[in-house]
Amino acid sequence: MKILILNCGSSSLKYQLIDTEGEHVLAKGLCERIGIDGRFQHTGKTEYKADIEMKNHTDAIRIVLDALLDDDHGVLKSIKEVNAVGHRVVHGGEYFSKSVIITEEVKKAIEDCCTLAPLHNPANLSGIKACEELMPGVPQVAVFDTAFHQTMPPKAYMYAIPYELYEKYKIHRYGFHGTSHKYVTQRAAALMRKPMEQLKLISCHLGNGASVCAVEYGKSIDTSMGLTPLEGLAMGTRSGNLDPAIIAFIAEKEKKTVEEVENILNKQSGVLGLSGVSSDFRDIKEAEMHGNKRAGIALDLFHYRVAKTIGGYAAAMNGADAVIFTAGLGENSGDSRAAICEYLGYLGLWVDSEKNNVRGKETDFATDESTVRALVIPTNEELMIARETAELLA
Ligand code: ADP
């Protein structure tokens, strides 16, 4: 089955065409600056780059389909070869605990969730509507970032606020990165040669956005992001957890609106705000090596919070069989993995420095004596979306 995977952001679109037989990526690429001017990058039979005007997601998807059919860099003879489209949808609210085939009701529910993810869900919907227009009759599937966490119990997903507010506005913890946490925990079970039903796993997705998830016997029972992806760890530009009173405090002192403060917490905080250097961990590490103290604090705080969250989840599950590291930083930075694992000796996890000297490759880097495994597992959200889409169609 050939499945087109689309990940629509507000001004970008990432895509992959995956053949589920053998799980090969046939083509992939990126549209950027949609609605501004338009930049296109495609890898199929050959590579192709161009500045092409893209007024909206429909334009972008039309360009993607043309590239897939192109004689030189395309990989398809006819668009009818695409069996289905799998969309990454960020927020499924309380509606979706698994992936679904897109219908009118599904679109309505995704629209309802726009208030919970105002930056993401409208873009996801645009992508869906564009595909309906450009590829009529091709089944479309929505795979939600939040769905995997719908198994969390009330003690994990509720906030301690008046119950009426929860009922009225559905304010509770939803969690994100679900497709990634699901993929890497399934891979972990395969690598450990144990059924999911016997494993307590802690998955650390550490990229620009970062979250930790406790997966007990195959189910997410807690995760660090909440109503929005702002909760939890410190991230590239997001503050993560803080005293909620700080919002009013900054608003008053800096004469800013609540929206402006929220913007600071989303875009100017995290390791960027702390270090003053960059949101990219590579730049911060470089700065730290040259003696930048604030960069050092940012890194220490980041690692410390990840370690504390792992500790919390080990407590929640009364132990853990493995800690998994994935996404940009988790997959590529042995330094950060080692710094986080420094805190985990009490769990029975010690790092084998030689094995930890690895990037982007599935590895167990715990010492042989460790009773908790430490795994690097490169995430593959697109493949997970392709699998779920194929399963639904079957
Ligand atoms: P997202 O998908 O959330 O944008 P990624 O998972 O691609 O993010 O992760 C991006 C982050 O990974 C970058 O900010 C960068 O700091 C970090 N990263 C990637 N490679 C390395 C590396 N070799 N060392 C340290 N950090 C890295």
**Tens digit of pLDDT per residue, the chain (394 long)?**
999 999 998 889 999 999 999 999 999 999 999 999 999 999 999 999 999 999 999 999 999 999 999 999 999 999 999 999 999 999 999 999 999 999 999 999 999 999 888 888 999 999 999 999 999 999 999 999 999 999 999 999 999 999 999 999 999 999 999 999 999 999 999 999 999 999 999 999 999 999 999 999 999 999 999 999 999 999 999 999 999 999 999 999 999 999 999 999 999 999 999 999 999 999 999 999 999 999 999 999 999 999 999 999 999 999 999 999 999 999 999 999 999 999 999 999 999 999 999 999 999 999 999 999 999 999 999 999 999 999 999 8
**pLDDT reported for residue 293:** 98
Q: Verify whether ligand 1 is closer than 6 Å to residue 282 (CB atom).
A: yes
- pLDDT at 306 (0 to 100): 98
pLDDT computed for residue 9 by the predictor: 87
Q: What is the C-alpha R_g of the chain? A: 21
**In angstroms, what is the span from residue 220 Cα to ligand 1's centroid?**
24
Q: What's the 158 CA to ligand 1 centre distance in angstroms? A: 31
Residue identifier of the C-alpha nearest atom 3 of ligand 1: 208
177, 235 contact by CB (below 8 A): no
- Render pLDDT for 315-331 as a digit per residue (tens, 0 to 9): 999 999 999 999 999 99
% of the chain surpassing 70 pLDDT = 100
**Would you state the pLDDT for residue 113?**
94
Which atom of ligand 1 sits closest to the CA of residue 205? 6
For the chain, give the mean pLDDT: 96
User: Residue 112 catalytic?
Assistant: no
- Looking at residue 119, what is its pLDDT? 80
Contacts of 199 (CB under 8 A, 6+ apart): 185, 188, 189, 192, 215, 217, 218, 321, 322
Tell whether ligand 1 has an atom less than 6 A from the beta carbon of residue 12.
no
Give the Cα separation of 280 and 271 in Å (integer): 8
Q: What's the pLDDT at 349? A: 98
Ligand 1 atom closest to Cα of 379? 6
With a 6 Å cutoff on the Cβ, whether 207 touches ligand 1 is yes
Domains of the chain in sequence order: 2-144 (3.30.420.40), 194-376 (3.30.420.40)
Q: What is the pLDDT of residue 118?
A: 84
Compute the distance from residue 240 Cα to the ligand 1 centre, in Å: 17
State the maximum Cα–Cα separation within the chain, in Å, rounded to a whole number. Answer: 61
What is residue 230's predicted lDDT score, i.e. its pLDDT? 94
Find the 287 Cα to ligand 1 centroid distance in Å.
16
Ligand 1 site-directed mutation target among 203, 281, 335, most atoms within 8 Å of CB = 281
Separation between Cα atoms, residue 19 and residue 30, nearest integer Å: 19
